[in-house]
Amino acid sequence: MSTPRKSTKARLIEAALDLFAERGVTETTTKAVAERAQVNEVTLFRNFGNKYRLLLAVIQDSAVFAKLVHALVEQANAKDNVADFLQEYAQESLRTLNKAPDLVRSIVGEAGNYPVENRMALGKGLSEANRYVAEYLEQAIAKENLSSDFTPEQIVNLFNFVLIGYFVVESSTEGYINWSNHDKFLESLVTLFLHGSFTTNIANSRVTETSIVKLGSEEIADLPASLVRSLFKKAKKTGKQEYALIYVLFGAGLSLTEILHLERSHFIVEPQQHLLQVNYGHKRQVPLNQWVMGFRYGSSTINPLIQWLKSRKDEQAAIFINDASEAINAAELQAIWRNLTNDLLTPQGESPRVEQARQTWCVEMFMRGIELEDLSILSGINVEHLQKYAQRARNKAALESAARLDKKV
């Protein structure tokens, strides 16, 4: 059976990609693309209008870039830890970039001359690729129970920026790079990210896998009930979304990254209980508590999250959105948190961090009597790490017991 002939558009896009890779965008002519695709130049103009419209089609051809990213990640994902994941991903990325250096330099160097829609397509393509890689990185992080102040998307973004910058400089200059070869550079890059992205053991200055501290080593810094109450009050006055966000943070104990990936369909309303379906990272269902640190914020029929969703007029799937009705990103969520906590201080005299909401939820769940294994299932946190939270809950319970005894004297 003969192979079906590709459409004219598909042949033009394929030819353009090949020539852009061989010669760069500037040196590639529409006539050359038409000849490579075995059509006349008029056909190219009829389908795309001009070279930049053709470049836009190449960028938007999801099959090309999806296969590229998937191939990179599949090879990197075979590794057992974050260090090896980053090392392999970086090596494969540089190998891929080196297959089409003219194309990469041309796209980066000429982007300022492209129409807005081309630049938007490039930005969208990079964002989608970064999110795809971040999902795999988060799985690697979860396997090792690492702690970071950055989301997986932020780590991937920074990592890719450095990789592309290195490639452009290395392939465009002579005598500038301070590493003898790619392997030395990649070793330094991974070392930098392991130190800068994840909590490190100060007592061990060597950069090895043992110098990455597991989550079980982090300090538990739950927030006092009075501060949480003040935060709820301020959020309620600020707006329905802010109130819903604080409610989800302290009522379900989700991480920042998990909240960023929540969609309306993930909110489950049952007769006596409201649940959140977490589909990013450690997949599970988590109950939305009606009570948070002695105050009731929800019932079997209504809560701040329901009120927020009912007030929405947009069609955006994400639960939390920005002013443009797009899914909120990590920086925007952090900005909301800072606005709500700008006049609040922890007992240590510091501004509350959004990560402390999850810690507070864990400690409170232990205070309310949940079993260690059950909280591990609900939180996605391993039992060994939760021992720290359980100890903190016992300390708080002891203080409360002492206070009750003091009242009896």
Q: What H or E segment, with its residue span, contains residue 278?
A: strand 273-278
What pLDDT score was predicted for residue 350? 86
What pLDDT score was predicted for residue 207? 32
Q: Please name the residue ranges forming H helices in 199-353.
A: 225-238, 240-252, 256-260, 304-311, 330-341
Threshold 0.85, pTM exceeds: no
Rounded Cα distance between 87 and 95, Å, is 12
In this structure, which CATH number among 1.10.357, 1.10.10, 1.10.3470, 3.30.2420 belongs to the domain 61-211?
1.10.357
Domain coordinates of the chain in residue numbers?
61-211, 225-408
Task: Tell me which residue of 196, 242, 215 sits closest to 385, measured CA to CA.
Answer: 215
What pLDDT score was predicted for residue 164? 77
- How is the chain split among helix, strand and coil, in percent rounded to 5? 65, 5, 30
What pLDDT score was predicted for residue 209? 32
- As averages over each run of 10 residues, the pLDDT of the chain (409 residues) reads 69 86 80 93 90 79 53 56 76 72 65 66 66 71 69 80 78 64 77 68 32 44 93 96 96 90 93 89 90 92 94 94 89 90 89 91 95 92 88 90 78
Q: What H or E segment, with its residue span, contains residue 277?
A: strand 273-278
Please give the backbone phi and psi of residue 398, each rounded to the nearest 5 degrees, phi first.
Answer: -65, -40
CATH homologous superfamily, domain 225-408: Intergrase catalytic core (1.10.443.10)
What pLDDT score was predicted for residue 132? 66
Question: Where do we find the tokens 């080196």?
Answer: 98
